[in-house]
Amino acid sequence: MKNKKIKYKISHGVYVVTTKDGGCVVDAVSQVSGGEEPLISIAINKGNYTNELVSKNKKLILSIVPESNDGNLIKNFGHQSMRDVNKFETGEYSEVNGIKVPENVIGYLECVLVDTIDAETHTLFIVRAIDGDMYNDEKPMTYAYYQDHKDELIKVETELGKKAYVCTICGYVYYGEELPKDFVCPRCGVDASLFKLQS
Ligand SMILES: Cc1cc2nc3c(=O)[nH]c(=O)nc-3n(C[C@H](O)[C@H](O)[C@H](O)COP(=O)(O)O)c2cc1C
């Protein structure tokens, strides 16, 4: 690819997938069929704990994040793994059929798993939206908006006095003098060109 950054100009929305015992931020979501109960595809990295949980639980909630979100929901669900922290200890939640739904979202779709497709680094979960609710009519956050505002939305704190390279996609921090050219973000899988030296 002549310029890898072009991939980040494919804009989607910003969502939170929750399921029993975990969840994560996703942008790779698209509606793939119409009708009363449409099919939706959600691409989840095979390394993410949420991938394991959705495969096991076979149901999830897809919450729609508004542009007005202060970034805490995105940091909590998109910058750390449920393997390391209990994300549900931060923030407020309601519950829909045993699955937690974050407060301050536009609404949610309750989905059941109908199929999976192996997509190299990711699994495409094909889910059917069987129910949903809308709490307000705010503007949904697009991935393009997130990209344009992520410096304010997800300001990453790094340790003072250490040279730090921050992943501009997910906020992972690499400490070291030089970021290896072949470095791949262990959290979101992007390459070294998408890391920025924190000044
Ligand atoms: C704006 C944004 C969009 C993201 N989009 C996706 C996505 O589409 N698919 C995915 O697997 N991870 C995506 N991530 C990364 C996961 O949310 C992140 O790796 C999370 O820490 C995984 O947590 P888990 O291990 O508890 O599942 C995104 C993160 C952010 C901040």
- Ligand 1 atom closest to the Cα of residue 45 is 11
Per-residue pLDDT reduced to its tens digit, 144-160: 999 899 888 877 888 98
Say yes or no: CB of residue 53 within 6 Å of ligand 1. Answer: no
Say yes or no: CB of residue 65 within 6 Å of ligand 1. Answer: no
**Which token pair is 116?**
């999976």
Say yes or no: CB of residue 185 within 6 Å of ligand 1. Answer: no
**Which token pair is 127?**
């889910």
Task: Give the position of tokens 């009519």.
Answer: 137
Per-residue pLDDT reduced to its tens digit, 5-35: 777 777 789 999 999 999 999 999 999 999 9
Question: What domains lie within the chain, and their CATH numbers?
Answer: 4-145 (2.30.110.10), 156-197 (2.20.28.10)
Q: How far is CA 175 from CA 76, 159, 184, 196, 197, in A?
A: 21, 9, 14, 12, 10
In 87-186 the beta strands, taken as DSSP E runs, fall at 93-96, 99-102, 107-119, 122-134, 164-167, 173-175
Per-residue pLDDT reduced to its tens digit, 35-88: 999 999 999 999 999 999 999 999 999 999 999 998 999 999 998 899 999 999
Q: What is the pLDDT of residue 9?
A: 78
What pTM does this model have?
0.86
Say yes or no: CB of residue 170 within 6 Å of ligand 1. Answer: yes
Q: How far apart are CA 159 and CA 145, in angstroms?
A: 28
Q: What is the pLDDT of residue 171?
A: 81
Q: What is the pLDDT of residue 150?
A: 86
